[in-house]
Chains A and B, each alone.
Chain A
């Protein structure tokens, strides 16, 4: 079972919830940080990294001696990553989305594969659990291609554990927002947890995220962080659209202090531990019933 921890607004507590869920979940579980633009789950779980590899994207390389300047590649490319400027064919590597279309269409065989570095995939052990994350190269604008490469590695980790009696669960720390990276992080999950805070910004962005994820037809529930702050809009909306509130984390200075210390919140007090144990139970119940109804695998 894969559980995605997402939010519309950044800074609502995705990593707080992810790290705490990993902590109370039955081992072994895979903790996966898919917020590749600014991964931070490792700062709380402190895994022991054992290996890494680079992720690359295929981009075109021009052999000028073979190019007939027909311009078909430039016409095909929707991103202007390759362009015929008068009599000069040129590439703009950072614009390329890696579809390979230009290389396939070139009638002269003048284009070959080159690579653009997307970032780094790192993994390791976290006590009895496993840990996996991606980190986008500084300057790289597109994160979904790296996220796909991280998910390929996740597939390898799950395959390697396929001999286990019970397949490993995965807890995904997703990036904020509602655009491609956020969609990419939650699309393979069995359940989405929306972490929000009861403020106007928290409410507005949670509503956007709920609306964006709704067409995927996955079970969703809300965790309200900093409960006691702000107003009732989040509660009213959840009530209105029948979006279940899985858990509430109180607005408490001690939690902020523990977070600032790099602590996992569920390990900071018995009260917090109980909140996350009951959240984990709720999540398993909802995700499990979806899986048995033929929901996402």
Chain B
């Protein structure tokens, strides 16, 4: 099964899902069968003046994850993730990383076809 990346506030499965994608604190990349995970810090995106979403999309692409679970994804990040062939489950804030993964495994997450957050400039 494909690895899943989830935006998180802390490096733990019981962390809240960070609702922001581009400026998320970090990502938990999980093997959904074993629930083994690694943590990827996203601090490099958080400090950027612009392009945080694009940088975060690159980070996900480089992590090997094929699925992303998060709250809100901006238009450029969405475009980047799509190009990298990553499927996006969004509007998954207000729950823990573990709950988001369980929800996905139960088949209750539809993949997004469009960004759910407006860009800053348009």
Minimum CB distance partner of A90 in chain B = B83
A90 to B78, alpha carbons, bound, how many Å? 13
Across-interface contacts of B49 in A (CB, < 8 A): 79
Interface 1/0s, chain B 107-122, versus A by CB < 8 A? 0000000000000011
Interface 1/0s, chain B 54-86, versus A by CB < 8 A? 110110011000000000000010011101110
Chain B interface, number of residues (Cβ within 8 angstroms): 19
The reply to whether A95 and B50 contact each other, CB–CB distance below 8 Å, is yes
Across-interface contacts of B51 in A (CB, < 8 A): 79-81, 83, 92, 95
Residue B48 is within 8 A (CB to CB) of chain A in the complex: yes
A85 to B82, alpha carbons, bound, how many Å? 9
Interface residues of A (CB under 8 A from B): 74, 79-81, 83-88, 90, 92, 94-95, 139, 141
Minimum CB distance partner of B86 in chain A = A86
Q: Contacts A92-B76, A94-B121 hold; do A85 and B48 have CB atoms under 8 A apart?
A: no
The reply to whether B50 and A86 contact each other, CB–CB distance below 8 Å, is no
Count: A-B pairs, CB below 8 Å? 47
Across-interface contacts of B54 in A (CB, < 8 A): 80, 83, 92, 95
Interface of B is mostly: helix
Q: Contacts A90-B83, A95-B50 hold; do A85 and B122 have CB atoms under 8 A apart?
A: no
The reply to whether A86 and B55 contact each other, CB–CB distance below 8 Å, is no
Minimum CB distance partner of B49 in chain A = A79
- Among A81, A92, A95: residue with most chain B CB under 10 A: A92
The reply to whether A80 and B61 contact each other, CB–CB distance below 8 Å, is no
Across-interface contacts of A85 in B (CB, < 8 A): 57-58, 61, 80-81, 83-84
Known: A79-B49, A83-B54, A139-B121. 7 other contacts (CB 8 A): A80-B54, A84-B58, A85-B57, A85-B58, A90-B80, A92-B54, A92-B76
Minimum CB distance partner of A97 in chain B = B50
Across-interface contacts of B83 in A (CB, < 8 A): 85-86, 88, 90
A92 to B48, alpha carbons, bound, how many Å? 16
Across-interface contacts of B48 in A (CB, < 8 A): 80
A95 to B48, alpha carbons, bound, how many Å? 12
Across-interface contacts of A84 in B (CB, < 8 A): 58
In the assembled complex, the CB of B59 is this many whole angstroms from the nearest CB of chain A, namely 10
A88 to B76, alpha carbons, bound, how many Å? 14
A79 to B51, alpha carbons, bound, how many Å? 6
Across-interface contacts of A94 in B (CB, < 8 A): 121
Q: Contacts A88-B84, A90-B80, A90-B83 hold; do A83 and B58 have CB atoms under 8 A apart?
A: yes
